[in-house]
Amino acid sequence: STMTYHPIEQVQGRFIPFTALIENTSAINATLIESELQWYVCQGDLDYCDVRKKWVSQTKEKITGLAAGQVYTSTFNMEVTFDNNEPTDPESYVLSVKVECDVNNTISEGNAGGTAEENNVKTAVIQIEHPDLTVGNIWWLPENPAYGEEVMFYARIDNLGPGGTVEPFEVNFYIDDHDADLRVDLGSVKMATEVPFGQRKLMTDNNFNGSFEAGLSPWQTMTGSVFWESRCPEEDPVCDRDTNGEPMSGDLHYARLYGENTILRSSIFPIDSNSLLFRAQTSGSGTKKLLIRKDDSPNNHPILIKREYTDKDPWRAYVIDIRTDDQGNILTRGQRVFIELQTSGAAGATFMIDDFRMGGDQNSKSFVGYVAAKGAWVATPDVLKGLPHSITVKVDTKDAVKETNESNQSLTIDGTSPYYQFPSIGKPDYIIDIAGYTPQEQLQGRNIVYTAFVKNIGFTTYVDSELKWYTCKGNADTCTTATGFEEFWKVQQTDKITGGVVQGGQYTVIYNLPAEYHSGTLTAGQSDEYTIWLRLVADEAEVLLEENDLNNVASTHVTVGHPDLVISDIWWKPEKPVDGEEVTFYAQIDNQGKGGTLQDFEVSFLVDKDKDTQEDLGTAKIQDDIFFGNRLPLFGNLSGGDFFGNSSFESEPNHLSGWQYDGDVVVVDRQLPEELTREFYAVMTGPNAELKSSNFVITQDHFVFYAASYGYGTKELFICKANTLCNESAGDMLIHKNYDDPRGWRVYNIDVSEYVGEPVYIKLAVGNPGTELANIFAIDDFHLTDNIGGFESYPILANSKSWPITYWMRYSGDVYLEDYYLDTELPDDIDRATNKKYMIVSGPDARVVSPVFKLTGNSIIFRGQVTGSGNKYLTIRQYVPGSFSPLTTDPILYQSTYADKSPWRAYTIDISEINEIDAYIEVTTEGTGNMTFLLDDFRMNIASWPYGTMTVATAINPKKWLARPYSDITVLVDSKNSIFEASRQVDFLYVNSNKRQGGRYLSSIFRWEGEDNNSLTRKVYLAKKYIYSRGDIDGNGQLDLKDVIIASKLAATFFHPLNDGFDMGKVDVNADDRIGLAEIIYLMSHIADNGTLLK
C-alpha cells in the first residue's frame, strides 16, 4: 500500500532505510497461504531497469498469510552504491528501488480497480549526487627547509561536489612532478575518511555557529563537560589557512562532550531544507544522542527527532531527514527548533561533533580531512636544471570515486605560485679553518692536539659528510709538489660531520696527531727536527652539492725536534780509590737537542773500552722522559730575580731569595753539622736596613720566629696588609713589635688569630745604633702554628737547609724540598757537588703558589710525578694587580689534573694563547689519603735563549768493579741507537743549568751533536799506595836523605805533614812510638853503608 524512505539524499556507501506496508485490502477474505516479498535495486531510471531487466534482488522474506485488513511491515536498508558501468550523469545518478509482494503469484487476488496483481509493486527513484574531491591546500614542516633536512608534507582534502562518499581513496605526493627525471614519489596514502556533501550551506545564520570556529558560543553547556578543541596540530603553523590566506571553514575546531549527563544545546534556528548534515565521531561506552527539539518552552521543548550514534573513528558524515518528525508529522519550513547533544551512561562517553549544514550553496565546499605524506623528503638544492622545486598533491589517483569534475584533482605549489611559494633551498659552501694546535711543541711519543673548524659560508645543510685527516712525513717536495706525491699521504682519521652545518655555523673537529718516534734518515735541511705535513679534506666523496668544491682542502705542517743526548759528566765514589777497592760510577745524561722523547734508552759502562783488559760493567735502562734541551728556567723574566734558581728550587747560602732588602742584610752559615736543619739565618745590621717578605696568607692563630738582637737601636717587626705600603694611618699596618733589648737566640710568639685569612707580608727594620758600635738583628725560621710549642710546623716557606728557600709561597698542607741524592753520592769537587732539589707537595688540601711572572713564548714545561690517591692539580692563574692576589678566585688561564707515576715525566703546557699576561702557578692537592705531587724544572721557551741543556737522569753502573791501576771508564748513552738524535756542528754560548751536578756557569764550547757525542771517557786515578817499613817515613820504598830530613824535623818538633795512612808501628825503629834520634842514626848508618837502599 505504501513505501517510504528517509533521508531523501545520502552519501555514497551509506544506507537509506526503506519501509513498505503490505496490506490485505479485502474486508472479508483472509489467506493462510505463504507468499514471498522481494526488494530490488537498479542503477538507472525505471524504464532502463524494466526494459534492460537490470533489477537486482537485494533481499527476500516470507509472509505467512494475512487476515482481512491485516498490514505487514517490511524494512530494507538500501546501500547507496555506484557502478561506473551503469547510467550516470556528470553530476549525479539515480537509484531505482522496487518492492514486490507475492512475486510468484502464489495467492489468487482480486482487485476491483484493475488486474488482480497490478497493485503488488511499489517503486521509488532516488537521485544520488557525485562528490568532487580536490586538494584544498598544501603545507610543509619545517616551513623553510634546508638542504638535507627532512621535510614532511601535509594536504587538506576538500569536497566541491554536491554528493558524498565513504569510498576510500588514495592521495599521492610528488616533488618536481613536472620532470620525469627529477620526480620524487613520496608515496601513496589511503584515506578512509567519509566525504560529506559539498555545496551545502554552513549553518551560520541566526548566530548558529555550525562550525565551532568562533568557539562554543552561542551553544550552551547545560550540564557536564564540554570542550572546544582543534583538529589542527599545534606545531603546524600553516594548516589553518587556505590558498587565499583566509581561515578555513568547518575544519579546525569542534565540540567534544564528555562523561555522564552532559548536555549541549544550540541556538534556535528555522528549518529551511529537507536535510540536516553534520560530521561526528564517538568513543567510549555509554549513550551519545542528537535530539532536535521544538522551540516550545511551555511544553518543555518536545523532541521532534532523536538519533543515537555509536560509530567510532574516523569522522563520519551524517544526514538527518527533517521533512517529518519521528512520528511522521510534517515539519514545515520555518519551524523553529534547536539541537541538543547528550552523553550519558558512562564516565568515558565521548561525542565529538562539527560542521552543521542545511540547505544548498553551490559555492560552498566541505572539509574532508588532513593527510600527511607517506614519507619525508630530504631537501636538495633547487637549482637542478635551473628549475625551482615544486610539491604536487593528487587526490583519488586510482579513480576509486566518481566525481563531478575529474580535472581538478591535483594542486601544485612551486616558486611561482601566486599566494605562497615553495621556499628556495640553496647550496652550502664548506671551507676549512685550521684553528691551531696544542702544545706548540711536543715530545716524540706524545700527541699534538689539532683543532679545525668546518665553516659553512653558504646555505644551511643537514646532510652528513666526512672530514678526512691525512699526514705525510717528509720534506715539502715529497709531500706537496713531487710527482705522485699523493701516494705519500695516509688517512689517519675520518670524522663524520653528522647533521651538516648551518649557514654561518661551524663544526669543530679534534685530531690527536702522534708526534711519532723518528726513524730512518734525516730530512734534507732539517738536522735537528722533522716535519709532519697535515692535510684536511672535507666531503672528499662529494656527497654534498656545494657552491664551490675547490675550497674544501686545508693544509699545514708542524715540526718535531730531535733530542741530542750527551754524557755531561762522569764521577765515581770513592773519588780516589785504592787498588782493589769497590767503585761505583755515576754518569749524568743531558739533552742538548731541540726536541725530547718518551723513549727508554740504555746507558752502558765499560772499563778500558776496546782494550784487551775491557770489562763490561753492565747497562742501565733509563725510563725517565727526555725533556727539551733548549729551554731556560721559567722565572728568568722576573724583575731582579735569580735567573736560574727560583724555578728549580735551588737556593744559595748567600741569596735572599723571595725577600726584598735594603741596606746591610746578609745570610750567614752557622757551620753546623749537616743533619741539623737551621743551617742558615739572616743578619740585618743598622743603620736603616730593611727586609720584606713576599705576600702570604695567615692561616693559623700564632706567628712564631727565632731571633737574636745585639747592640743598641730599634729593631722592629711589622705585619702589613698585602700589596700596601704599610701605612698606619690608612689601616695597612696590622701589627707592630719592637725587639730593642739585646738578647741571645730565643723564640718569639705573636698572636695573629684575629687576622686569620688575611693576605699579609712581613717587614723588618733595623735603626741607627747612635753612639754604639752596632745594631744587629738576626732572624730565622718564621712559622705559623696552632701550637705555640710546635715551632717546626706549618712553615710559611718551604722547609730547607737553605733559608729562605724560593720565591714559592706555601699556603696550606705539607710543602717541602727534597734532595735528589745523598751527599755521599755526589762528587767531592766543590764546584760539582751541590746537591740539587725538587719540590714535594704532599697530603690533602695542600696549596703552594709561585711568584708572578709574565707568560712568554709557546710553552711552559716541567717535570713531575705523583703517588697515592686523590687529585693533583696545576693551575695557571692571572695575577690581578691591586687585589689580594694570589686568591683562589683569581681567573684561571689553565688547569689540568696529573696522575702519572714513576718515573719522572715531562709535561708541556701550551701558553701560546695567553701570552704577555702576568700570571702565577698554583699547585694543589685534593681528596683524602696519602697523596704526593713531585715537581721540578719549570722552564719556558724564551726566544732570546734558544739553546740550553737539560739533565735527563743520572745512571749508575749495574755491576761491581774493583779498582785497578791505569784504567779508563767509558760511558755510552743510547748504545743501541734506539733514539734518533740531532746531528749538526755548532759553536755557541750555552747555559749549563744542569740539575743534578755542578754549579751554574756560562761556557763557550765547541761541540758535535748527534750520534757521535754519545760517549765520554775519563781516566780513573787510584790513590798512591804507601808501603811502610822501618825508617821509611814517607813510605816510598826507599831509605834516603828525604827520610833523614823528615825525621830531623819531627825530632826538632817542627811540623811536617805525614801521608794518609801513615803507620807508626812499621816505621818506628826502637818502638818508642815517636820519630826521633834513633830513626836518624838508623837512616844515616844505612845510607853510609849502602847508599840509597831500594826495597
pTM (two decimals):
0.64
User: CB–CB of 603/973 below 8 Å?
Assistant: yes
For the stretch 403-442, pLDDT in tens is 999 999 999 998 887 767 888 898 999 999 999 998 988 8
Question: pLDDT at position 305, please?
Answer: 97
Residues 588 and 592: their CA atoms lie apart, in Å, by: 13
Shortest CA distance to 291 belongs to which of 257, 334, 333?
Answer: 257
Query: pLDDT: is 1008 or 923 the higher one?
Result: 923
Residues 286 and 346: their CA atoms lie apart, in Å, by: 5
∠ at Cα 612 (607, 618), nearest 5°?
Answer: 35
Residue 1061 has pLDDT above 70, yes or no: no
CA 797 to chain centre: 40
List phi, psi (to 5°) of 898.
Answer: -120, 135
Annotated domain spans of the chain: 2-129, 133-194+372-413, 200-362, 430-561, 565-630+946-1020, 660-668+678-792, 811-941, 1038-1094
Residue 46 has pLDDT above 70, yes or no: yes
Question: pLDDT at position 1029, please?
Answer: 82
For the stretch 828-885, pLDDT in tens is 765 555 557 788 888 888 888 887 778 888 888 888 999 988 899 999 999 886 555 5
The rounded percent of the chain whose pLDDT value lies above 90 is 47
Residue 892 has pLDDT above 70, yes or no: yes
Per-residue pLDDT averaged across 667-689, rounded? 65
Question: pLDDT at position 37, please?
Answer: 96
Q: Is the dihedral of CA 324, 329, 330, 334 positive or negative?
A: negative
Write out the H or E segment, with its range, that includes residue 863: strand 859-868
Question: pLDDT at position 1002, please?
Answer: 27
CATH architecture, domain defined by 811-941: Sandwich (2.60)
For the stretch 92-147, pLDDT in tens is 999 999 999 999 999 888 765 555 567 899 999 999 999 999 998 888 888 889 99
Residue 987 has pLDDT above 80, yes or no: no
DSSP state of 481: I
Question: pLDDT at position 374, please?
Answer: 94
List phi, psi (to 5°) of 1078.
Answer: -60, -40
Grid cell of 313 as nine digits? 573513528
Which residue shows C-alpha cell 544522542? 289
Residues 92 and 126: their CA atoms lie apart, in Å, by: 10
**3 state DSSP class of 896:** strand
**3 state DSSP class of 636:** helix
List phi, psi (to 5°) of 40.
Answer: -125, 150
Residues 589 and 622: their CA atoms lie apart, in Å, by: 10
CA 955 to chain centre: 44
Q: What one-letter code names the amino acid at 816?
A: Y
Grid cell of 278 as nine digits? 553534520
Question: pLDDT at position 475, please?
Answer: 78
CA-to-CA dists, residue 288 to 25, 78, 312, 314, 483, angstroms: 42, 24, 11, 16, 86
**3 state DSSP class of 268:** coil
Other beta carbons within 10 Å of 472 = 22
What are residue 809's DSSP bridge partners?
A: 849
Assign domain 2-129 to a CATH class: mainly beta
Question: pLDDT at position 3, please?
Answer: 95
**3 state DSSP class of 39:** strand
Lowest mean pLDDT among 113-117, 249-253, 630-634, 910-914: 113-117
Residues 1044 and 1086: their CA atoms lie apart, in Å, by: 11
Per-residue pLDDT averaged across 460-475, rounded? 92
Residue 321 has pLDDT above 80, yes or no: yes
Residue 699 has pLDDT above 70, yes or no: yes
Shortest CA distance to 995 belongs to which of 647, 760, 640?
Answer: 647
- CATH 2.30.40.10 assigned to domain 430-561? The reply is no
List phi, psi (to 5°) of 179.
Answer: -130, 115
Residues 849 and 646: their CA atoms lie apart, in Å, by: 12
Of the candidate CATH numbers 1.10.1240.10, 2.70.98.40, 3.30.420.40, 2.60.120.260, the domain formed by 200-362 belongs to 2.60.120.260
DSSP state of 921: E
Residue 57 has pLDDT above 90, yes or no: yes
For the stretch 807-823, pLDDT in tens is 577 777 788 777 777 77
User: CB–CB of 841/848 below 8 Å?
Assistant: yes
User: What string of DSSP letters covers 183-242?
Assistant: -EEEEEEEE---B--SSEEES-GGG--TT-TT-STTSEEEEEEEEEEESS-TT-SSTTB-
Residue 510 has pLDDT above 90, yes or no: yes
Question: pLDDT at position 263, please?
Answer: 97
Lowest mean pLDDT among 9-13, 17-21, 205-209, 218-222: 205-209
Query: What superfamily in CATH does domain 660-668+678-792 come from?
Result: Galactose-binding domain-like (2.60.120.260)
pLDDT band at 632 (very low <50, low <70, confident <90, very high): low
Per-residue pLDDT averaged across 996-1018, rounded? 49
Shortest CA distance to 1007 belongs to which of 530, 526, 593, 561?
Answer: 593
Per-residue pLDDT averaged across 580-587, rounded? 92
Write out the H or E segment, with its range, that includes residue 1066: helix 1064-1067
pLDDT band at 334 (very low <50, low <70, confident <90, very high): very high
Per-residue pLDDT averaged across 999-1010, rounded? 33
Residue 510: CB partners within 8 Å, gap ≥ 6?
A: 449, 450, 451
pLDDT band at 670 (very low <50, low <70, confident <90, very high): low
Lowest mean pLDDT among 559-563, 878-882, 1091-1095: 1091-1095
Question: pLDDT at position 989, please?
Answer: 32
Q: Is the dihedral of CA 801, 807, 813, 817 positive or negative?
A: negative
User: CB–CB of 486/473 below 8 Å?
Assistant: no
Per DSSP bridges, beta strands 759-766 and 336-344 are unpaired
Shortest CA distance to 147 belongs to which of 393, 464, 391?
Answer: 464
pLDDT band at 47 (very low <50, low <70, confident <90, very high): very high
The rounded percent of the chain whose pLDDT value lies above 70 is 84
Question: pLDDT at position 797, please?
Answer: 33
For the stretch 280-320, pLDDT in tens is 999 999 999 999 999 998 889 999 999 999 888 788 999 99
User: CB–CB of 839/817 below 8 Å?
Assistant: yes
Question: pLDDT at position 384, please?
Answer: 65
- CATH 2.60.40.420 assigned to domain 133-194+372-413? The reply is no
Residues 984 and 522: their CA atoms lie apart, in Å, by: 11
Residues 584 and 1020: their CA atoms lie apart, in Å, by: 12
**3 state DSSP class of 989:** strand
Shortest CA distance to 130 belongs to which of 400, 314, 394, 322?
Answer: 400
Highest mean pLDDT of the ranges 234-248, 617-631, 693-707: 617-631
Question: pLDDT at position 798, please?
Answer: 30
Question: What size, in residues, is the chain?
Answer: 1095
Q: Is the dihedral of CA 961, 966, 972, 976 positive or negative?
A: negative
Residue 18: CB partners within 8 Å, gap ≥ 6?
A: 3, 4, 5, 39, 75, 76, 77, 78, 97, 99, 124
Per-residue pLDDT averaged across 232-247, rounded? 51
Which residue shows C-alpha cell 568513543? 283
Residue 27 has pLDDT above 50, yes or no: yes
Highest mean pLDDT of the ranges 111-125, 889-903, 1014-1028: 889-903
Residues 166 and 194: their CA atoms lie apart, in Å, by: 4
Shortest CA distance to 132 belongs to which of 310, 368, 307?
Answer: 368
Same topology, domains 2-129 and 811-941? Answer is no
Grid cell of 798 as nine digits? 718551604
Residue 678 has pLDDT above 50, yes or no: no
For the stretch 337-373, pLDDT in tens is 999 999 999 999 999 999 999 988 888 899 898 899 9
Q: What one-letter code names the amino acid at 995?
A: K
Per-residue pLDDT averaged across 183-200, rounded? 94
Domain 565-630+946-1020: assigned CATH number: 2.60.40.10
Residue 259 has pLDDT above 90, yes or no: yes
